[in-house]
Amino acid sequence: MRAEKGAIDENLSTHLSYLLAAGKLQLDTLAFPEASLSGYINPGKFPRAVLTSESTVVEELIDATSRSNVTILPGIIEQNPEENPFVTQLAIKNGTFVGKCRKRTNIFDSDPERYASGNEAVLFEAANLKFGISICADIGNQQVFTELSDKGADAIFELAAPGLHGQQAGRDWQSGSEWWRTECFNL
């Protein structure tokens, strides 16, 4: 999916259409890229796209899952009252907010200056599968995988916006996607 920066309504509409399709296909889990609802924004330029798990757009997704058996993992730029916001994946199932996982490894471009890092591995369960989430650059952080394995994860979803890899001036989605694919296969 292409998550436009700050285009909350459009991104929500895309999520809802994927959720509807996933329900028809009887999928158990639907994972979205990092920042799929907010878009991978500069928080200073798009302050309205910095969300919480109680934001209206998230509430709409929660409500939509009450009519589906699909667990969804949407991404937001999450408000942090103490400092910079987090890059966060939410877990929503059967009309219930289950929890969230915050990106722990911010290494590209200005990420460390724009985003706070999470500090814990979170285990979720859906369709009898215990799983964790790795967000983008977390793929290179062995501690994330070790902690999730120690907690009993059967699988780990690597959720990323791979077109964002590399220096911003020379980015293109294809090179980012190739980097991401190579990293996933190398691990």
Q: How far is CA 160 from CA 54, 76, 105, 170, in A?
A: 23, 12, 12, 19
Domain that holds residue 175: 8-186
pLDDT of residue 29: 94
| Domain assignment of residue 20, yes or no | yes
Out of 83-97, 100-114, 128-142, least confident range = 100-114
Mean pLDDT to the nearest integer, 17-40 = 95
> Is 70 exceeded by the pLDDT of residue 43?
yes
pLDDT of residue 174: 63
Q: Which two tokens stand for residue 67?
A: 């009519």
pLDDT tens digit string along 73-101? Answer: 999 999 999 989 999 999 999 999 999 99
> Is 80 exceeded by the pLDDT of residue 49?
yes
- pTM of this structure: 0.87
Q: How far apart are CA 74 and CA 82, in angstroms?
A: 23
pLDDT of residue 163: 60
In the chain, the percentage of residues whose pLDDT exceeds 70 is 83
| Domain assignment of residue 53, yes or no | yes
Q: Which two tokens stand for residue 115?
A: 């985003």
Three-class DSSP labels, 46-65: CHHHEECCCCHHHHHHHHHH
Mean pLDDT to the nearest integer, 155-165 = 79
| Domain assignment of residue 2, yes or no | no
Query: H or E element: which one contains 72?
Result: strand 71-73
Q: How far is CA 166 from CA 6, 42, 174, in A?
A: 21, 16, 11
Nearest to 72 by CA among 102, 33, 41, 121: 33
Q: How many domains does the chain have?
A: 1
| Domain assignment of residue 3, yes or no | no
| Domain assignment of residue 98, yes or no | yes
pLDDT of residue 165: 47
Residues 6+ apart with CB under 8 A from 21: none
| Domain assignment of residue 1, yes or no | no
pLDDT of residue 45: 92
12-181-159 Cα angle (round to 5): 35
> Is 50 exceeded by the pLDDT of residue 130?
yes
> Is 80 exceeded by the pLDDT of residue 135?
yes
pLDDT of residue 138: 92
Q: How far apart are CA 10 and CA 122, in angstroms?
A: 29
State the CATH number of the domain containing residue 71.
3.60.110.10
What is the pLDDT confidence band of residue 126, given thresholds at 50, 70 and 90? confident
| Domain assignment of residue 55, yes or no | yes
In the chain, the percentage of residues whose pLDDT exceeds 90 is 70
